[in-house]
Structure 1
Amino acid sequence: MAVGLKPPETLVPIKGIRLATAEAGIRYQGRTDVAVMEVVHGTRAAAVFTRNAFCAAPVTVAREHLATATPRFLLINAGNANAGTGEEGLRDARESCRLLAERAACIEAAVLPFSTGVIGELLPVHRFGPAIDHLLIDLHSGSEAWMDAARAIMTTDTVPKGASRQVEIGGRTVTVTGIAKGSGMIHPDMATMLAFIGTDADLAPGLLQSTLESAVGSSFNSITVDGDTSTNDACILLATGSSGATVDSVDSDAYRAFSIVLEEVCQQLAQAIVRDGEGATKFVTLEVVEAATTEEARQVAFTVAHSPLVKTALFASDPNWGRILAAVGRAGIEGLDADGVWLTINGVSIARDGGRDPGYTEAQGVEAMAGEEINIRIGLGRGDADTRIWTTDLSHDYVRINAEYRS
């Protein structure tokens, strides 16, 4: 069950974007599993993809198409990742794009493919044709279209994920709306996820890419469930320009305002992925402060977040703080002075000056660890750099879900 997470009550549509969903039977029966997103002519796109060298066929094809054409359609399927499928997988990804392009009367490179699901199985491309016929008829731009798409792209997710924000730029209201899927195999770079974000702002191509990369760094690349980086990760930002609000300089108030709302949407989606982590019973905010560099802070944070001993203690609500300090100590920070490290959990001072805080009691620790929301704060005593990431515990259900995933 997702930790403190419910489906969004509503999502604000983006002028210039229409969506539709269909049941193609790619893997699942009796539910939608294919979605199409159509964007108006002139829409600009930015993207961040997985850094996994064993990337999936649709990632390769999407990169190729973005380099050669302006997108008009996104074609997304759930249940089959089309990863680990070699040349045949590339042909299948391209064929799915061709089927949509042929019916929509656009060039093949204007279609971007995205897949999520089981790795190592060939994509049943023959199922796309009939689904696409329905999709192109059903395209619409309302809030429910975004919600339907959020449901269609789910795999082991238990809750559809979406977020909207609005801001005034140049006297015009700008909207940013995004949907995402992700639950397991979550770790930078990027977390196993697909995220599709639209805005009606008009941003220059270079600005669009830089602001997306910045937002991803503090959101999707700051979450982890199990330390596994997926083959299929993708985050796409589409700017239709339909609001008439222009963002044309990185030094402008408009850019700063837009960057803030984009980061808010990305962080809400990223945190929703963690809250819906496979088998998760805890939502953990992990802050590392007083580091010499941000990179050092992140190294410590992810070492702690990936420790099976820390994660199982979190699941048991066991204030076994020695496991946290042990993870800090093995994070590989050169010259780390243990006497300068301090630790708090949900505001309770646990350790300082190289040992347990004299005022700490086990009862305080038990109370701090009892809830669903845990804040772990670690000070390194080395500088003024810091970082914040989000993670989960490791439960019996995580093992069960992944053991049964292909069955």
Structure 2
Amino acid sequence: MKIIDGGVTAAEGFQAAGLAAGIKKGNTKDMALVYSEKPCVAAGTFTTNVVKAAPVKWDQHIVYEAPTAQAIVCNSGVANACTGEEGYGYCKETAKIAAEVLQIPEDSVLVASTGVIGKQLPMDLLGAGVKNLVPLLSHTREAGKLAAQSIMTTDTVSKEVAVTMEIGGKTVTLGGMCKGSGMIHPNMCTMLGFLTTDVAISKELLQKALSTVVKDTYNMVSVDGDTSTNDTVLLLANGAAGNAEITEEKEDYQTFLDALLYVNTCLAKKIAGDGEGATALFEVKVVGAESKEQAVTLSKSIITSNLTKAAIFGHDANWGRILCAMGYSGAQFDPEKVDLYFESKAGKLQIIKDGVATDYSEEEATKILSEKEVTAIADVKMGEATATAWGCDLTYDYVKINADYRS
């Protein structure tokens, strides 16, 4: 696998565009279009929130029932959530407009929205936006960047990644973009993400691959404990690479799965690091667990602890908060066997050994915790299982951003 500079336009046969349609205040980019020159097999994972936005319901219908997909229309500024039948009708209308302009089937158009809950989409602006996006479609790197910028809400940076790999003697490319900064919490998938690949693969295995990697990527991210109504990840594969179609879980499938895991891990970490108001990416590794389930439970409990997140913001090695979060997680372990380390570019320091504080330097700990990426490693000494979760610190700005989000 090779990491390359790219996003949703990196794979063969994919184009993208982004623009300001006027949905958001000011001349801010707020609409994106991703298009494949060939029909694709599609996979998707969606929010577990009982309150599902209209685009989620539309996309579930397309992914689960339609034979192919070929385009994704995404708007920022209005979430089209809690909008009833009218909101769902707007999804259908958006798909119809895009289908007519692109000359593709209506049921091959996926839609996505992000922004304020409860507002109806301004369909005059959205419809015009779709029509204006199509002539701008391009396979260039710049087009991919514009699309990634156009799906942002409170994100401070756009989020993209791409890789290539060898499958069946052919070079296969996988790229993606996502948005996510607030209302981020595990269980699928706390963001909008769009992935494109030119690999030839069966629809069944494409879905299995995506569902598999989500467990160790987006489901291990938390910013604020709130799971969105719009969480969606879509993966399109158009087969343009020309490899023999992957229909079995053999070497070629594993190669693709490894690449997909890498891409989604990168995107998940970008979301956590760009959490609303955040100054640091906070990574938690639980090692020495007796089972994967135990490791996941412990790492998630630490990453979602507001007291721990506040300590990371203050560069304070308040390890008691971490041990406390582990203790109320529901997972069973012996606190008198736990070792805890803090690590960053500034170094690595053991904070507790067998549940008791070491004679560590507070000054050195603060130095380590002052970096933009900080890792806590908890060893429970019970087995070989591990899990990694990602979050961010909790700052004053998080409250400021969310106090006036609508106004």
TM-score normalised by the chain length of structure 1:
0.93
Distance apart, 1:148 and its partner CA: 0.9
Cα distance between partner residues in 1 of 2:36 and 2:397: 39
Structure 2 stretches lacking a partner, 5+ long: none
Residue 351 of structure 2 is matched in structure 1 by: 350
Answer whether contact 2:338 2:353 (CA < 8 A) is retained: yes
Residue 403 of structure 2 is matched in structure 1 by: 403
* Equivalent of 2:269 in 268, 271, 274: 271
Residue 147 of structure 1 is matched in structure 2 by: 145
Residue 65 of structure 1 is matched in structure 2 by: 62
Q: Does 1:17 align with 2:14?
A: yes
Cα distance between partner residues in 1 of 2:36 and 2:192: 18
Answer whether contact 1:341 1:352 (CA < 8 A) is retained: yes
Once structures 1 and 2 are overlaid, which stretch shifts more, 17-26 or 382-391?
17-26
Distance apart, 1:367 and its partner CA: 2.9
Residue 376 of structure 2 is matched in structure 1 by: 376
Distance apart, 1:103 and its partner CA: 3.0
Structure 1 stretches lacking a partner, 5+ long: 1-7
Cα distance between partner residues in 2 of 1:251 and 1:228: 35
Distance apart, 1:101 and its partner CA: 2.2
Residue 49 of structure 2 is matched in structure 1 by: 52
Once structures 1 and 2 are overlaid, which stretch shifts more, 41-50 or 177-186?
41-50
Q: Does 1:170 align with 2:139?
A: no
Distance apart, 1:383 and its partner CA: 2.1
- AA of the residue aligned to 2:75: N
Answer whether contact 2:190 2:218 (CA < 8 A) is retained: no
Distance apart, 1:249 and its partner CA: 4.4
- AA of the residue aligned to 1:14: A
Residue 290 of structure 2 is matched in structure 1 by: 292
Which segments of structure 1 move beyond 4 Å, counting only runs of 4 or more? 8-12
Cα distance between partner residues in 2 of 1:108 and 1:303: 43
Aligned residue pairs: how many?
398
Cα distance between partner residues in 2 of 1:247 and 1:273: 32
Answer whether contact 2:19 2:146 (CA < 8 A) is retained: no
Residue 112 of structure 1 is matched in structure 2 by: 110
Cα distance between partner residues in 2 of 1:251 and 1:61: 30
Residue 338 of structure 2 is matched in structure 1 by: 341
Residue 310 of structure 1 is matched in structure 2 by: 308
Cα distance between partner residues in 1 of 2:299 and 2:120: 37
Q: Does 1:221 align with 2:219?
A: yes
Q: Does 1:391 align with 2:388?
A: no
Once structures 1 and 2 are overlaid, which stretch shifts more, 8-17 or 317-326?
8-17
Distance apart, 1:128 and its partner CA: 1.9
Pair 1:32–1:366, CA change in 2 (3 A): closer
Answer whether contact 2:73 2:130 (CA < 8 A) is retained: no
- AA of the residue aligned to 2:22: G
Post-superposition CA distance 1:181-211 (Å, at most 9, x none): 1111111112431111111110111111111
Once structures 1 and 2 are overlaid, which stretch shifts more, 143-152 or 82-91?
82-91
Residue 30 of structure 2 is matched in structure 1 by: 33
SS at match of 1:166: strand
- AA of the residue aligned to 1:90: Y
SS at match of 2:340: strand
Answer whether contact 2:18 2:149 (CA < 8 A) is retained: no
Answer whether contact 2:164 2:172 (CA < 8 A) is retained: yes
SS at match of 2:39: coil
- AA of the residue aligned to 2:78: N
Once structures 1 and 2 are overlaid, which stretch shifts more, 196-205 or 127-136?
127-136
Cα distance between partner residues in 2 of 1:385 and 1:263: 18
- AA of the residue aligned to 1:384: E
SS at match of 1:84: coil
SS at match of 1:390: strand
Cα distance between partner residues in 2 of 1:365 and 1:103: 58
Cα distance between partner residues in 2 of 1:170 and 1:106: 30
Answer whether contact 1:200 1:240 (CA < 8 A) is retained: yes
- AA of the residue aligned to 1:134: N
Cα distance between partner residues in 1 of 2:125 and 2:249: 48
Cα distance between partner residues in 1 of 2:189 and 2:223: 9
Pair 1:20–1:367, CA change in 2 (3 A): closer
Distance apart, 1:10 and its partner CA: 4.5
Post-superposition CA distance 1:49-90 (Å, at most 9, x none): 111110100000111122332112211100110011122211
Post-superposition CA distance 1:82-141 (Å, at most 9, x none): 011122211222222222223333332221110011111111112122222212222221
Residue 4 of structure 1 is matched in structure 2 by: none
Once structures 1 and 2 are overlaid, which stretch shifts more, 363-372 or 204-213?
363-372
SS at match of 2:365: helix
Distance apart, 1:250 and its partner CA: 4.2
Answer whether contact 1:185 1:191 (CA < 8 A) is retained: no
SS at match of 1:42: strand
Residue 3 of structure 1 is matched in structure 2 by: none
Answer whether contact 1:21 1:152 (CA < 8 A) is retained: yes
Answer whether contact 1:16 1:39 (CA < 8 A) is retained: yes
- AA of the residue aligned to 2:228: S
- AA of the residue aligned to 1:23: A
- AA of the residue aligned to 2:32: A
Answer whether contact 2:53 2:82 (CA < 8 A) is retained: yes
Cα distance between partner residues in 1 of 2:298 and 2:64: 36
